A and B are shown apart, each in its own frame.
Chain A
Amino acid sequence: MIERIYATAVTEIHIARRNRWVLIAVVLMVVFSLVLSAVGSAPVGGLGADRLSVTVASLTSLSVYLVPLVALLMSFDAVAGEVERGTLPLLLTYPVGRGEVLLGKLLAHSTILIIALVAGYGAAALIAVATDPAAVAGFGALWRLTWTSVLLGATFLGIGYALSALARRASGAAGLAIGVWLGLVVLYDLALLAAVVADDGGIFTTQVFPTALLANPADAFRIFNLTASQATAAASGVGAAAGALPLWQTLLSLCLWPLAALGLATLAFRRAEP
């Protein structure tokens, strides 16, 4: 089983390297991280925090958008592409399980994501440490941001595979992926904020709102990182409103989501008839 997952991962990495996905992911993360660390250097004195911790807070807000986007871009083609190219029937006659195929793809795409994250966050950290020696105090926050970003990425990779298996056409899967990204990362928060404002401190704000935040992997990621580094002061919007959520709950949501997404993807893939 390990051998077959590994074989699939090696092949996927070859494909991603040739299709420039590795390069695109790394360049995206590095450029945005550098831009943010340059822009985010202004308010350091006012907050009394070290420079890296502030950078991490900015990177958290960036990653909420960028990591799911990169993950969905890499994964939307995973099943639909094989169906369209006509390579799926042959693959499924091999003694390899559909779950193993997805795990292999997940392993490859996660590796690429990790490379991109390390390059991007690493570049930002280098700049922070170079300009502010006290910034080493923020390494804990940076490490937390890195592994939670991987979990967030794995979640959206799984969601991408599920959409890819459901759509069966790459163009359809791409559309669905963009829709899910907009929905979960952008519109979800706007809708929640609108509801909170309309509710004005009622049952929605006290009962439904926290659960709704935990149910969205992107929100769980943001709140976990901001609460853990006590950086809610540097955040705004939904992040600032969620200081009340205990750390373990957001952590649990972050850890359960990748499993749920992969389970969903496996179910969808099993249903697909080649």
Chain B
Amino acid sequence: MTPTLDIANLTKTFDGVKALSDVSLSVSRGERVALLGHNGAGKSTLMKIILGLIPADAGRIDVCGSAPGGPAARAKVAYLPENATFHSALTGLEQIAFYMRLRGESPKGAMALLERVGLAHAARRRIGTYSKGMRQRVGLAQALIGHPSLLVLDEPTSGLDPVSRRDFYELLDGLAAEGAAILLSSHALTEVEARTDRLLILSGGQMVAEGTLNALRRKAALPVAIQVSAINGYDVDLLRAFPDAIKLGNTVRLTCTQDDKLDTLAQVAALRDKVADIDVIPPSLEEIYAHFSRRSGQ
């Protein structure tokens, strides 16, 4: 089956500066893919090209089987811009009804859509009176219109409180289960870690890493930390057994490579009668992200 979004060797240059060079990626039906990168890494440029708002210099892009920005692609793609803004004189209901009409949907469903994002109580108030989080939810509501095949979401959870974030990702899970392909960018690494199927890391306009979190973790081969709490007084024995370990307060911290993890644990387990507790701390997404971004010279 062909992916919903398929991009190969995409290049874009602004006034001689390469914003994107040789970027390839694909997002399939029902897949939730996170696009990570520093500010200026090329995420928004990539999204604008997928939406057909700006043309690419070179490369092949296929959006739902057609060219980006054409009528066929636009009918199937929904977009949530970073910091979604709307005309302040319109009410939330009027704004959503307008977008529904543009997609050929009956505006009667506008209220139900606002209810779905938790804005029913403010539907008849002007958007000018909304908070940032409420505007973001109007943006989310418009992205849900008409069962899009591909959702392109630029930092969708910025400005949302933790509960709204959870609700938002539940909505996304539902859409993905119905077959929508989702590409979202974010700076909130921990939530992306739990809520997406695959990560793409963009750095300086280049795709520096791609894969599931576990695959990236293996590829980065960052050291694993093992934190051991000794039974009273035995920490000296632990430090003798592991000369590279560091004493941190009441615990002893060891580091080892991914491959040595089990051997190290076995060594610790051999000291069973001196150990009170043990924690294995895998490298965080932040560390993995920093590893790949730094490698490309960022």
Q: Mark B72-87, 1 if CB is under 8 A from A, else 0.
A: 0011011101011111
**Residues 48-88 of B contacting A (Cβ, < 8 Å):** 48, 51-54, 71, 74-75, 77-79, 81, 83-87
B90 interface residue per 8 A CB criterion: yes
Give the residues in chain B near A15, CB-CB below 8 Å. Answer: 87, 89-90
Complex interface: stretch among A31-39, A90-98, A132-140, A173-181: A90-98
B103 interface residue per 8 A CB criterion: yes
Give the residues in chain A near B102, CB-CB below 8 Å. Answer: 4, 7-8, 94-96
Q: Are B98 and A11 in contact (CB under 8 A)?
A: yes
Q: Are A92 and B53 in contact (CB under 8 A)?
A: yes
Q: Are A87 and B53 in contact (CB under 8 A)?
A: no
Q: Are A7 and B87 in contact (CB under 8 A)?
A: no
B101 interface residue per 8 A CB criterion: yes
Minimum CB–CB distance from B16 to chain A (whole Å) comes to 17
Q: Are B99 and A94 in contact (CB under 8 A)?
A: yes
Give the residues in chain B near A6, CB-CB below 8 Å. Answer: 101
Q: Are A18 and B126 in contact (CB under 8 A)?
A: yes
Q: Are B79 and A11 in contact (CB under 8 A)?
A: no
Cα A96 to Cα B101 in complex, Å, equals 10
Cα A140 to Cα B205 in complex, Å, equals 67
Minimum CB–CB distance from B15 to chain A (whole Å) comes to 13
Give the residues in chain A near B51, CB-CB below 8 Å. Answer: 89, 93
Q: Are A95 and B74 in contact (CB under 8 A)?
A: yes
**The one of B85, B87, B98 that contacts A10, using a Cβ cutoff of 8 Å:** B98
Chain B, Cβ-Cβ closest to A101: B102
Q: Mark B25-64, 1 if CB is under 8 A from A, else 0.
A: 0000000000000000000000010011110000000000
**Residues 158-180 of A contacting B (Cβ, < 8 Å):** none
Residues of B within 8 A of A (CB): 48, 51-54, 71, 74-75, 77-79, 81, 83-87, 89-90, 94-95, 98-99, 101-104, 126, 139, 142
